Amino acid sequence: MIISRRAALKRMAFPLAAIGLPERAGAEVRRSGQDAGTPAQAQRLRKIATEEAWTTPEVAEALRGVVRRGGRNLDLTLLRSIYDAPAGTPPRFLSQLLDAERLRLAEMDAYGVDMHLLSLTAPGVQMFKPDVASTLARLSNDRLAEIVRRHPKRFAALASFAPQDPRAAAKEMERAINTLKLSGFIVNSHTDNAYLDEPRFWPILEAAQGLDAPLYLHPRAPSDGMAEPFRDYRMESAVWGYGVEAGTHAVRLMLSGVLDRFPRLRIVLGHMGEALPFWMWRLDFMGAPGARAAGRPNRLKPSEYFKRNFAITTSGVEDPLALRFCIDKLGADGIMWAIDYPYQPTAPAVQFLESAPLSDRERSLIAYGNAERIFRIGT
């Protein structure tokens, strides 16, 4: 209903960079529809950004400890620049990550972004010892719930959990949905170089399915067992390694048959689906049940899993052609807009959403309609 009511709204012809609407103005404009005061306001596009990074001082401090312990893990390079920058180097992103209500709300207002779906930034709690990880996940979820309670029209949030301890994770996932009323979960790909298709992680998948809440499978740098070719030229990062890591994780979920065991699991992939939509023909040809399936217990074709169990976001891929490809391949119902704040700038992400050649229906689904439905975000 929400979608069809909103589908009538016209899209903005130009970015609204200069318009800083008050907190509830967007909703009121939507309700008043054609009667709104100015044409710009009448046509204002509701925008929910769905992969927006945030952290707590406690997690930042714990990551500083991880960096100082050192090692060969490929996430350490970026983590060092954020959490343990050499004296004299300005730390990157940290003030934005630690903030919700000051820098962030101002930026959202400046660009007409209605909501951020907040999540603890990568690698979450996944590099900590299990007990520390569980404690920091709970603390982070409490803080996020508090922010959402204070600003229910501006923030929703995904819960973290510690895959290091799957039973504790499942318990925290239950609390995050039923008590804290958060909107789903986020996991940053591998944990200690292991992937969620491994049976020891099944309690996590079972909890996500049972709670009917989506699991955002966010990247991190490639796991140690595939790290070597990514050690040069900063290839471990968003330029290439993140997509390989998260995409490989998603393919493992499809080919392992774990989605036959948890057929109602809903997974969200960022970065335009980590290129899996583009690979889908080959994934199906080579990965369908049948002659080539030796060693692969999956009962469905990858594209069947993808359409049933996955949704994607546009984070970090502000390419109208790639977006059109994904709509034509998957339909517009499983695609959500994201900025990836503060790692990507807000202005071009908004410009992309507002100017990409889309139908009104497609644009409203991608801008907010799908996020409201998939993450159960109220209006």
Q: Is 333 a catalytic residue?
A: no
Instruction: Provide φ and ψ at 137, rounded to 5°.
Output: -65, -45
- How are beta strands 215-218 and 267-269 bridged, if at all? parallel
Residue found by looking up tokens 């994904």 in the block:
326
Q: Which residues contact 292 (CB under 8 A, 6 or more apart)?
A: 286
Nearer to a second copy, 98 or 235 (CB): 235
Pairing mode of beta strands 115-120, 215-218: unpaired
Residue 226 within binding range of a second copy, rule CB under 8 A? yes
Cα 123-126-130 angle, rounded to 5 deg: 160
**Does the protein bind a second copy through residue 202 (CB under 8 A)?**
no
Contact between 286 and a second copy (CB under 8 A)?
yes
Binding mask 322-341 for a second copy (x = CB under 8 A): x--x--xx------------
List the one residue from 135, 209, 237, 355 that touches a second copy (CB under 8 A): 237
Question: Out of 296, 307, 308, 373, which residue is the one contacting a second copy (CB under 8 A)?
Answer: 296
Question: How many Cβ atoms sit within 10 Å of the Cβ of residue 264?
Answer: 11
Residue from 120, 180, 244, 269 binding a second copy (CB under 8 A) = 244
Do residues 85 and 91 lie in contact, with contact meaning Cβ atoms separated by under 8 Å? yes
Q: Provide the mask over 251-270, with x wherever binding to a second copy is found by CB under 8 A and - wherever it is not.
A: xx--xx--------------
Q: Is 18 in the site for a second copy (CB under 8 A)?
A: no
227 binds a second copy (CB under 8 A): yes
Q: Which helix (DSSP H) or strand (DSSP E) does residue 50 occupy?
A: strand 48-54
Provide, rounded to whole angstroms, the least separation between the CB of residue 316 and a second copy: 5
Residue 112 and residue 109: Cα distance in Å, rounded? 5
Q: Contacts with a second copy: how many residues (CB under 8 A)?
A: 59
271 binds a second copy (CB under 8 A): yes
> In whole angstroms, what is the distance from residue 68 CA to residue 255 CA?
37
DSSP tag of 191: B
Binding residues for a second copy, rule: CB under 8 A, are 190, 193, 195, 197, 222-230, 232-235, 237-240, 243-244, 247-249, 251-252, 255-256, 271-272, 275, 277-283, 285-287, 292, 294-298, 316-319, 321-322, 325, 328-329, 344
Question: What is the set of active-site residues?
Answer: 340
